[in-house]
Amino acid sequence: MDFQVVVLAGGSSKNLTPLVSKELPKPLLPVANRPVLSYVLHQLEQNNLKDLIVVVEGEDTALVVGAWISGTFIDRLHVEIAAVPEDIGTAGAIRAISHHLTAKDILVVSGDLVSDVPPGAVAATHRRHDAAVTAMLSSIPVSGPLDSGSSGGKDKAKKLGRYNIIGLDPGKQFLLHIATGAEIEKDARLPKHILRAVGQMEIRSDLMDAHMYAFKRSVLQEVLDLKDTFQSLKEDVLPYLVRSQLKSEALSNRTPQGEENGNEKVTSQNNQVFVSRILANSSTPSFHDHSSENPDGSAPTRKTHKCCAYIASSGSYCVRLNSIQAFMDINRDVTGEADHLLTGTSSDPNNNIGPSPKLGTKTTVGPHCMLGEGSEIGDKCQVKRSVIGRHCRIGSHVKVVNSVVMNHVTIGDGCIIQSSVVCSNVQLQERVVLKDCQVGAGFVVTAGSEYKAESLARKEK
């Protein structure tokens, strides 16, 4: 279909420390015992997109990720791994691999997206409108643990700054305004000329940018060339394109048509105009056409491009893994209500929900739990709404609620773990109480200690 897919897998992430590290880059962070990147790749594979470019930050990370991909998706996907320097942002990453891009349209997907929205839908919307860019918007997921106590307040404070203001046309097809994150303080500036052209704008703050974009390649490359200060697709490129859609400087979606057919020697220019007028008159006009028309109704002079939005239907699942809270949420949802993301996705056949591991007597494992292969749980334990990785050893009288325990974790007797993340190779000695904590890889929590809302990690040597 003349689409190229770029997966921005990223590398390290400040938001996710101490969960990610050099050994465990963000793309490989296990969500329900599968690396988060596998969700995206699997979904692309299901949609028959088998030629991918995966962009990873940092050479070392690229090696790790590449090894994993080639191990997991061997001869199922044709993946090119591109390593880009760190801290150049998403726009920088695209700029770095720009020479690889050849297709007419580019689909850019963030590697941390866990979603069941078909990428084809975005692509189809893009094609239908012949847009310069199409962004997928989804409703902001319900965040926070179901029975969250103190963490709620903290998250709310965080989320206030993460508002998205998105302006849509009445048909909900075009993006008229987008402002995300830090840009919004108290007041938002709306572009007047666009408002005038459209006449009506719907301002939504309940939508978020899911970071799945379809770009017209020519437009994307041109913008990246022109504006070499742009760092991020989401915060720079997309708002720029949306802002300039009625007075696009270099780009146009109108000329290609004329050029393509202009090559024909038989047809005179006159006929081309005629044909394009028939086509234009009978197609549903968008505000772009009106605004580009001269007052006397003659042919459009100003160039425009279209910025479309695809709004994921409310039933679909779409979350980005960009914070620890999101990580918890996704783990909860994937094992719970959105478990269709897991079914049939046996990239690693050992992942299964259910008590295949050894359980001690009187141990209960509640619903929506996942236990990895080879894990052992002692007597009289309780596991609720939690994911436990492979080869964990859990002692007796342990309570694990709303938590994620990764691989090779040893938990001593009498521990209570609530709403926490315990990374690989962590050792929890006896009677440790963790609440709302993140424990970095390889950390050893001494016996009897109690932590609340803390982030524990090994000191970097």
Partner 1 sequence: MDTRRVSSAVPRVRQVGFFTPNTPAHQPAPTRSQSGPPTSDSPPLSDSPASNSLSPVMIPPPRHLSDNLGGRAYALPVPGRGNAGEHATVGSYNPSESVLWLESPPRSRIGDEELSEGTESSLGWYRRSNSAKVASSLPSGGFDLSQVKQPESVAAVEAKNPLPEKSEAQKEQASNPKSLKAKTTKAERRALQESQRAAKAASKAEANKSNAPGGAASSKPMKQPPQKKDGPPVASSVAASERGVDRPVEKERKKDLPPPRMQFDDESRVDKAKRRSLLNQPEARNRVELFRHLPPHKNGSQLPYLESKFFELHEMHPSVYKVGLQYLTGDTSGGNARCIAMLQAFQEAIRDYSTPPEKTLNRDLTSKIGGFVSFLIECRPLSMSMGNAIRFLKSRIARLPLTLSESEAKAALCSDIDRFINEKIVLADKVILRHAATKIRDGDVLLTYGSSCVVEMILLYAHEIGKQFRVVVVDSRPMLEGQKQLRRLVAKGLSCTYTQLNAISYVMHEVTRVFLGASSIFSNGTVYSRVGTASVAMVAHAFHVPVLVCCEAYKFHERVQLDSICFNELGDPDAVSKVPGREDVNYLDNLTDKQKENLQLLNLKYDATPSDYISVIVTDYGMIPPTSVPVIVREYRKEYLLI
Question: Binding residue for partner 1 (CB under 8 A) from 76, 128, 156, 452?
Answer: 128
Pick the closer one to partner 1 by CB: 3 or 174.
3
In the window 35-94, what residues touch partner 1 (CB under 8 A)? Answer: 47-49
Q: Is residue 229 involved in binding partner 1 (CB under 8 A)?
A: no
Q: What residue has token string 């015992």? A: 33
Pull the structure tokens for residue 200: 């009506």
Q: Is residue 121 involved in binding partner 1 (CB under 8 A)?
A: yes
Pick the closer one to partner 1 by CB: 161 or 285.
285
Burial annotation 17-33 (CB, 10 A radius, 16+ → b, else e): ebbbbeebbbbbbbbbb
Pick the closer one to partner 1 by CB: 114 or 417.
114
Pick the closer one to partner 1 by CB: 52 or 223.
52
Q: Is residue 297 involved in binding partner 1 (CB under 8 A)?
A: yes
Q: Is residue 97 involved in binding partner 1 (CB under 8 A)?
A: no
CA geometry: angle at 130 spanning 126 and 134, to 5°? 30
Closest of 369, 308, 321 to residue 166, by C-alpha: 308
In the window 187-226, what residues touch partner 1 (CB under 8 A)? Answer: none
Q: If residue 31 lies in a helix (H) or strand (E), which one and from where to where?
A: strand 30-31
Pick the closer one to partner 1 by CB: 267 or 449.
267
In the window 276-295, what residues touch partner 1 (CB under 8 A)? Answer: 278-279, 281-285
Pick the closer one to partner 1 by CB: 281 or 361.
281
Closest of 287, 285, 290, 309 to residue 300, by C-alpha: 290
Whole-number Å distance between alpha carbons of 305 and 302:
10
Q: Is residue 275 involved in binding partner 1 (CB under 8 A)?
A: yes
In the window 302-331, what residues touch partner 1 (CB under 8 A)? Answer: 313
Classified as helix, coil or strand, 427 is strand
Closest of 120, 118, 122, 117 to residue 134, by C-alpha: 122
Nearest-approach distance from CB 351 to partner 1, in angstroms: 25
Closest of 309, 308, 313 to residue 116, by C-alpha: 313
Pick the closer one to partner 1 by CB: 294 or 446.
294
Q: Is residue 267 involved in binding partner 1 (CB under 8 A)?
A: yes
Whole-number Å distance between alpha carbons of 351 and 278:
57
Q: If residue 279 lies in a helix (H) or strand (E), which one and from where to where?
A: helix 269-282
Q: Is residue 250 involved in binding partner 1 (CB under 8 A)?
A: no
Q: Is residue 384 involved in binding partner 1 (CB under 8 A)?
A: no
CA 66 and chain centroid, separation: 19
Q: Is residue 168 involved in binding partner 1 (CB under 8 A)?
A: no
Closest of 403, 372, 404 to residue 390, by C-alpha: 372
Whole-number Å distance between alpha carbons of 317 and 339:
10
Q: Is residue 356 involved in binding partner 1 (CB under 8 A)?
A: no
Nearest-approach distance from CB 296 to partner 1, in angstroms: 7
Question: Binding residue for partner 1 (CB under 8 A) from 3, 73, 215, 287?
Answer: 3
> Measuring CA to CA, how many Å separate 360 from each of 235, 377, 391, 393, 397?
51, 6, 15, 11, 10
Pick the closer one to partner 1 by CB: 5 or 179.
5
Nearest-approach distance from CB 72 to partner 1, in angstroms: 21
Residues making contact with partner 1 (CB under 8 A): 1-3, 47-49, 104, 118-121, 123-125, 127-128, 130, 260-261, 264, 266-267, 271, 274-275, 278-279, 281-285, 296-297, 313
